[in-house]
Amino acid sequence: MKFIASIILLLAFSVIGFGQQNVGTTAQNFTETTINGENIELEQLKGKIVVMTFWSTRCQICSVEIPKLNKLVKKYDGREVVFLGLAWQDKVKLEKYMRKKPFDFKIIPQSFGVLLKYADRDSKGRLNMGFPSHFVVDQNGQVVYKASGFKKAEKIDSLLGKLLSE
């Protein structure tokens, strides 16, 4: 009986820990296709800084933040920085949204599988991720920044400047 209880406890902790991507850890690899048909594998982006923003067309904060994030794309154009916008909606819904509200990141539709790798979990193993959620991965593939919510573009900008000067 103790053996079975130990196995159940081990599995419960495995589920809770699965997917949590924290600062100081190696970013979990993924391979996805952008809305424009470009294949992206995170592992292949080593040597570059990667800014990942998980967002949704239903997120009001995301709508406010997108223009600020677009300014970062322009500011770091031609530098070794890749901006990825990961959304769980499909291509058609995202394209319709972006006609009204352009988002200059490389947009990855239907990226729920990546969200599962990066989202925190609560004590019951349920997903716990606010939108927008931002992750910055340095040139060595390490997560160096993780945050969610409003007004993060300035912090990301500061961090990018620091990482590019190292």
Q: Report the pLDDT value the prediction gives residue 99, as an integer from 0 to 100.
A: 96
Q: Report the pLDDT value the prediction gives residue 138, as an integer from 0 to 100.
A: 98
- Between 3 and 127, the more confident residue is 127
What mean pLDDT, rounded, does the chain reach? 89
3-state SS, residue 2: helix
Confidence grade of residue 19 (pLDDT, cut at 50, 70, 90): low
Q: What percent of the chain has a predicted confidence (pLDDT) above 90? A: 77
Asked: is 2-165 a CATH 3.40.30.10 domain? The reply is yes
pLDDT at position 5 over 90: no
Using the Cα atoms of residue 110, residue 82, residue 46 and residue 166 in order, give the sign of their dihedral. Answer: negative
The answer to whether 153 touches 68, Cβ cutoff 8 Å, is yes
pLDDT, tens digit (0-9, with 9 covering 90-100), for 97-133: 999 999 999 999 999 999 999 998 888 888 888 899 9
